[in-house]
Structure 1
């Protein structure tokens, strides 16, 4: 009964969840054009002349897909089964979809909260069109969420959860469709030409002033049918604080949210709804953050707020260490390699 209710709540959330964040991306090699910070279609970048960006985009684009009304980013395949360990935003999943505001994990080998609907990743052959192919999606754990938080007010330091992707795939047909329990027999097949998700260091801490690439799937699928990228610079903590003041003056809601340097960083780039949960990568293709919010008021500074992977890892490790050994044994095979 619990599983059925959670699945029904998820379906409802698909219709009503508002994506706060979105947007952006950048690279350590400045773009050749003057479009820094602007959203660009994936295919435009791939057909462009900036070989550094083309190579970087090829390296990371297979790691970012759709999840409900937003995006999700594959963090790693270094677990015991070689499955996809991904991160997305709590507001993309829909806060009402969780059974508790307290941190919780799900035993994916015994309880099935998986769904195919709205879950897509780029095809393993490297094509940029997602088509009608759906891939299984299993929430694995989320962390403590303030009882007062909503899909539109949740703070970056709480706005992320971790899930699993395996090889189960179906074409879109009737709604909804559910996978079997997580299949641990076969490593995930995905487009990862340089094995970014298996590297010794799949993630890193962003450096102030470095250019990064942000990748996600806007809800405006007519304009961005195959996803969008944006280039931007990582702002210093002092620059971020200055931006908060400017956002307040412009009347942008992001000005009302304090900047938390431990949990997040700012990128001077534009984003739009649907890119929440999308990844922010450095020039080496390492994942530095997950997009969760962005400014959108006219005449306000264009910024994207990204949760630091280092912060997410710390929260995951602390939660894991708080569990009993029996509970750890249930989730350790899925997070080994990043814990």
Structure 2
């Protein structure tokens, strides 16, 4: 997300007012840090909101200084297929701007350092346990694009999480090759990552919950939560000139209805890559950018899973038959 995703959200449906965060790189730190902490929502008197958060929060974890979201476990191995933002991974980490598939059976780009998901017990605190994280594939990235200037249409990649876990140590540690013999163990009480419909298209006017891990660990040690209205394409397009008039960078980026939707909310740095879910717990997309000026309309740019899915299918069909055989076991459940 953009460095300034201040998630100011009017929880009209639940009678709660709060702010959330995004990452400026593309999300920046907001001047007002009145975002709801994850534990505030878990312990809320609003059972509907608490139930929804508990259904989805196990799918959102840390990825470096930001966030990642487990899309599905409906693959041949039952491992976690996750989505995060390219700027979270850091574009300089990719060896090519052209779309790439990484052969996890032979190639090991895995990390432990700063990679976490909620514990299987459902405890709120992530603790000091790290989990193996493997980039699987990324899609075409325009030449000259930078971490802070990347557009939503290109700001996502897919990865895999397996069960290799270690305790945080003083030195960087790396897992072995991805392990495919045991399905991923994760906190997923409603099995949202295994149901027939793990994702959905956003519906304008409905509310959505956004979950991520701000870099401000002092105030948000266990994550932050936002809840706002999904704007229509007409509303989103109309907000662009308002953002420009307020001097917000988002006013210089045209709204692309095929790629994104706007959530009427604000966020904090670190929430980039965090998931946005509807009231049924379906994944709608990941946060990538947001407004960061105090006088600008509060919006979060969310890359649609439908766009990510279409790019994945398009890339898959361009592959050689041998590469298809390597990739299909990891994504087959979502094709």
Q: Verify same fold: TM over 0.5.
A: yes
Give the strand-richer structure, 1 or 2.
Answer: 2
Shorter-chain TM-score bucket reads: over 0.9
The reply to whether residue 107 of structure 1 matches residue 103 of structure 2 is yes
**3-state DSSP class of the match of 2:211?**
strand
Matched, 1:128 2:117: no
SS at structure 1 position matched to 2:48: helix
Deviation string for 1:172-223 (max 9, x for gaps)?
A: 1132100000000000000000100001000000000000000000001111
In structure 1, the residue matched to 2:223 is: 227
Deviation string, structure 1 residues 85-116 (Cα, Å, up to 9, x no partner):
00000000000000000000100010100000
Pick one of 261, 264, 271 that aligns with 1:275.
271
- Segments of 4+ in structure 1 off by > 3 A? 18-29, 34-38
**Count of residue pairs the alignment pairs up:** 322
CA distance in 2: counterparts of 1:77 and 1:130, whole angstroms: 20
- Within the candidate set 141, 146, 149, 1:145 is matched to 141
Give 5+ residue unaligned stretches, structure 2: 21-33
Among 64, 67, 75, the residue aligned to 2:63: 67
Q: Secondary structure at the match of 1:137?
A: strand
Partners of 2:8 and 2:313 in 1: CA distance: 27
Correspondence for 1:42: 38
Query: Of 256, 261, 264, which residue of structure 1 is paired with 2:252?
Result: 256
- 1:32 and 2:15 aligned: yes
Q: Which residue of 1 aligns with 2:24?
A: none
Q: Distance in 2 between matches of 1:169 and 1:212?
A: 31
The superposition leaves residues 111-130 of structure 1 with CA deviations (integer Å, 9 ceiling, x where unpaired) of: 10000001000000101101
Please, what TM-score do these two structures have when normalized by structure 1? 0.92
**Structure 1 337/25 Cα, relative in aligned 2: closer, same or farther at 3 Å?**
farther
Match of 2:210 in 1: 214
Partner of 1:246: 242
Name the one with the larger helix percent: 1
TM-score using structure 2 length:
0.93
Deviation at 1:69, TM superposition (A): 1.4
Q: C-alpha displacement at 1:33, in angstroms?
A: 2.1
Alignment partner of 2:315 out of 286, 308, 319: 319
Once residues 43 and 182 of structure 2 are traced to their aligned partners in structure 1, the CA distance between those partners, rounded to angstroms, is 34
Q: 1:197 aligns with which of 193, 196, 199?
A: 193
CA RMSD for the aligned pairs? 1.7
Superposed displacement of residue 241, structure 1: 1.1
1:53 aligns with 2:36: no
1:184 to 180, 195, 213: 180
Q: CA deviation at 1:166?
A: 0.2
* 1-structure distance, mates of 2:78, 2:8: 27
Deviations along 1:236-265, whole A, 9 cap, x unmatched? Answer: 111111111110000001111111000000
Q: CA 1:93 to 1:63, structure 2 compared with 1: closer, same or farther past 3 Å?
A: same
DSSP-derived class of the 1:74 partner: strand
- Does the Cα contact within 8 Å between 1:290 and 1:308 map onto a contact in 2? yes
Within 1, Cα distance between the matches of 2:10 and 2:320? 41
- Deviation per CA, 1:302-325, whole angstroms, max 9, x where unpaired? 110000000000000000010011
